[in-house]
Structure 1
């Protein structure tokens, strides 16, 4: 059965999504906006827009349909597998592919492709992300390690927690640097004003990103980033925070930017210990063609 709520507005003011987010903490503002758009939230028995500002004595009715459980099914989607043994798979994820199913992306994900490739993936507590021990954003390309069994999952997750693995990213960013390298140490949490975004916030989780400047062009730079922690959108948030947002980033960057299919961010190097043998494994994948072509164009403009 769906959840149902009713409220009469007394002293509350502002947009309907903001007001309801305080009254129903279990719902995010983005989820409330979806409910408004689907006419599952009515004001005085009438549908409204997400920009509607509540009025005193408004009767607000909220109907929250139960979300259908995600059914993860194998899909025959090509994979660029860099390495595979009895414990792990290292895959080069293309830009534009979501890592695992979620409410807005129920299929065509990396997990769907992995399940078609092999039946041996470590179970996950949630059920919809078998094998996944870390992730990269949809429009970020590059290397991911995948666990094929419970022992491997525990080993890889421990390495991530203890920061003994290696993760290097390439990024084209806005602006030029006066320094050759640096460290960004700033806590990251959910943005207070937009739940789809992360931000540097006072009570966020510790986050550390090291960067090295590789090349500089008019208005842009190519940098290498090394993650010490792995927070959601960490590189994108940290670089925007210091005034050098990733080029092409639709969420944290400026509107006037380089043309592409999202942010110019690539997970280039991945290193970790093989779960059973303890042998150090390290892999490298070159950026996608659109990234390399953009670098060529920037170099030509610099001449």
Structure 2
């Protein structure tokens, strides 16, 4: 059972104190049912009045995996791990989570297997996810509580992409609303009826045919980078959905290579960098 410990700095109702620490009402309800709340090592209710200097201990409930998940043994490239998070590098053509077309052998099932083997009594919760054809960093929280404390909107995510054509503008901002394409349940498109989407890019290099870009997401729309780059006339190499098929390349050359966020428990700044998966030299055969 995972444990949180705090020292009160003023008088307060315990429930309010825990809300201020980022514990949601849903999480607190689960803690009351299957966890425990202690003040100075004595069991209490959420109505307890705590005083400055009191030691507050929260025992988080254990978690049971969904029967829809099948733990699978895989070689995981772990970039960071502590009691609360595990951050791994996903290869292209692997699902982050099961889908109708690919029901198992997903990354979350591999992380679940790893956690079970390490004696964890909780389950992985996907904080950031990547398309099947996109590689790079994926963040998992090791408890639902942490999943409520952090989200994709609180994580700075940076990507690398190899795109068709020479990008002449060294820095660019793309603000174009994205909606589901009317003719498809999968494809997205820039549309005045869509939701606001904001991507920024920095030109890194080119080989006179293709360019390497660094990108940052400021919103998290489905296929956002792929749609935005196609919108400005530079679809990602290998992206047959928003560009065109490329001989010898079966997926888009897009990688989440850097994430930054504040750890919700320790308050430390976490900065994770994955090694570069793609470069212009890798597509010289085009």
TM-score normalised by the chain length of structure 1:
0.67
Return closer, same or farther for 1:267/1:122 CA change in 2, 3 Å cut-off: farther
Separation of aligned partners in 2, 1:229 and 1:270: 14
Encode CA deviations 1:123-177: one digit per residue, 9 max, x unaligned: 6xxxxxx5112211111110011111122111212xx33xx42211000001112
Return closer, same or farther for 1:112/1:296 CA change in 2, 3 Å cut-off: closer
Q: Which residue of the partner structure matches residue 105 of structure 1?
A: 102
Whether contact under 8 Å (1:70, 1:106) holds in the other structure is no
Selected match of 2:244 from 254, 262, 266: 254
Selected match of 2:216 from 219, 226, 231: 226
Separation of aligned partners in 2, 1:207 and 1:70: 35
Q: Which residue of the partner structure matches residue 54 of structure 2?
A: none
Q: Which residue of the partner structure matches residue 72 of structure 2?
A: 75
Selected match of 2:148 from 121, 139, 154: 154
Q: Which residue of the partner structure matches residue 281 of structure 2?
A: 295
Separation of aligned partners in 2, 1:121 and 1:82: 22
Encode CA deviations 1:98-118: one digit per residue, 9 max, x unaligned: 000121111010011011001
Q: Say yes or no: does 1:268 pair with 2:257.
A: yes
Separation of aligned partners in 1, 2:186 and 2:144: 31
Separation of aligned partners in 2, 1:70 and 1:200: 38
Deviation at 1:218, TM superposition (A): 1.8
Whether contact under 8 Å (1:115, 1:121) holds in the other structure is no
The runs of 4+ residues in structure 1 deviating greater than 2 Å are 119-123, 294-298
Return closer, same or farther for 1:269/1:239 CA change in 2, 3 Å cut-off: same
User: Which runs of 5 or more structure 1 residues have no equivalent in the other structure?
Assistant: 1-68, 124-129
Q: Which residue of the partner structure matches residue 126 of structure 2?
A: 132
Separation of aligned partners in 1, 2:247 and 2:209: 11
Tell me the secondary structure at the aligned position of residue 278 of structure 1: coil
Q: Which residue of the partner structure matches residue 56 of structure 2?
A: none
Deviation at 1:297, TM superposition (A): 5.3
Separation of aligned partners in 1, 2:177 and 2:282: 35
Separation of aligned partners in 2, 1:153 and 1:246: 31
Whether contact under 8 Å (1:209, 1:225) holds in the other structure is yes
Encode CA deviations 1:37-82: one digit per residue, 9 max, x unaligned: xxxxxxxxxxxxxxxxxxxxxxxxxxxxxxxx97211111211111
Selected match of 1:236 from 226, 248, 256: 226
Count of residues in Structure 1 that have an aligned counterpart in Structure 2: 218
Q: Which residue of the partner structure matches residue 284 of structure 1?
A: 273
Q: Which residue of the partner structure matches residue 126 of structure 1?
A: none
Whether contact under 8 Å (1:70, 1:101) holds in the other structure is no
Return closer, same or farther for 1:234/1:198 CA change in 2, 3 Å cut-off: same
Whether contact under 8 Å (1:142, 1:268) holds in the other structure is yes
TM-score normalised by the chain length of structure 2:
0.71
Tell me the secondary structure at the aligned position of residue 239 of structure 1: helix
Tell me the secondary structure at the aligned position of residue 118 of structure 1: helix
Separation of aligned partners in 1, 2:121 and 2:223: 25
- Aligned-pair Cα RMSD in Å: 2.1
